Structure 1
Amino acid sequence: MLRRSGQLPVKTDEEVQRVRESCVIAATVLDKLCKMVAPGLNTYDLDQEGKKLIEGFGAESACYNYVGSAKAGAYPGYTCLSINDEVVHGIGSMKRVLRPGDNITVDVVVRYNDFIGDNARTVIVGHGDEAMTKLVKTTEEALYHGISFAKAKNRVGDISNAVQKYVEKNGMSVVRDFVGHGVGRSMHEDPQIPNYGRRGSGPKLHAGMTIAIEPMVNLGAPPIQIGSDGWTASTADGLPAAHFEHTVLITEGDAEILTIPEK
């Protein structure tokens, strides 16, 4: 059961351990898939390898058959694979073949022993140009900068503001249509964690909370659009995007990153 701190879920020690186990699986699968990325690979095959790896750990994909809205229908992939201007929720396809200079975001969410592990990473296929390289580097750095503010007694807005300021300082923009979130028995729990906001605002963080922090950064402007499949979110201006995500445990000190691959 979840204890409550205000209206926000705080996990018991046993629940934290179960989230941790799920996160290790998610991170290990993500790491293996990212190492497979190469020119000529199609995203359907990458998704099917994700399915195989997840099931090999005795886990299940939390993405597969997920219903976000009646209009979109059930999500058909086992992982989310988003290329270049696709921000999130890209669907693996035999027609999508990776080319040198592309970037691809691999987003892996698993359920293991009733608990969720959630993480994502953007990698460049081969070598990217200067703008693409800076975009990916800035997004990853923004994630860790945001995590540094994720500690008990701080507020969600402290994380949000840190990410926003870091990204905008580097001449890019944060996506405003999607947010980070709590992680537990469900893929999306309270609190919501936007990548923009005001310091000192939002719910207070408490030790024992497990949350996913996930900067989604556009090289151009913030607006996005949803594709005809009802799922794939792309930048409205067609410029590239990047996305990094860790699930972390709030403590009295520095946050513990839970999505670390097994050794």
Structure 2
Amino acid sequence: MDSKEAAGDRSRVAVVTGAGSGIGRAVAVELLRKGWSVALAGRRPGALEETAALAPGTDALVVRTDVARQEDVTALFAATVERYGRLDLLFNNAGTFGPGGVPVEELSYDAWRHVVDTNLNGAFLCAQAAYRQMKEQDPQGGRIINNGSISAHVPRPRSVAYTATKHALTGLTKSLSLDGRPYGIAVGQIDIGNAATEMTAKMSSGVLQADGSVAREPVMDAADVARTVRHMAELPPEANLQFVTVLATAMPFIGRG
């Protein structure tokens, strides 16, 4: 069943944050090509336009958004509803690693705050805005998918800010999932390991391991992540994939450290 069949005659509507590159771009393009209308959110309008151009002839809305700014998030969802009339999906994807390889004792508070503001506060603001819209619209309900990470389970060395926010996202997912039940709002989380994107390019040259060594790690195609997100998004309202882990088969996750 494709998205149009599942939704009737209308195209289903999604907001994808961090849509200008990486996982966000891959998911946005996958949804657009399968008939969804997608609001592309990110800080770089040019990059968002490039994402839209990868799915010509589809219905994309570009909205410059810094998810850490409440006013930007409010404007994003207002523009989406003004254009499409409702919201069926939020893919809460925007995030940052922050400064890599910095020991805990040397991490500045400003760097810590930047990661928390983007990865956690931004995810909350977007989820809250989506929740409000999904609760009030007719028909009621929708779906929120949070981009967790393998780091929502186990950390990499010297990644305290990123790891803390990704663990917190799991709590956000569980709480939103519970609170959304009365309103038909399904909330799930996808935890991704080593998808080939700009953010993971260093994997090919080697990354710090728990034993202090530096090793190259295998990666997987981001398109495989995008197909998984679409599967989650197109489940019927009475079904939810609460948590799913998608990773490069041979990456050091099982047995990490």
TM-score if structure 2 supplies the norm length? 0.29
Larger strand share, 1 or 2: 1
Larger helix share, 1 or 2: 2
TM-score if structure 1 supplies the norm length? 0.29
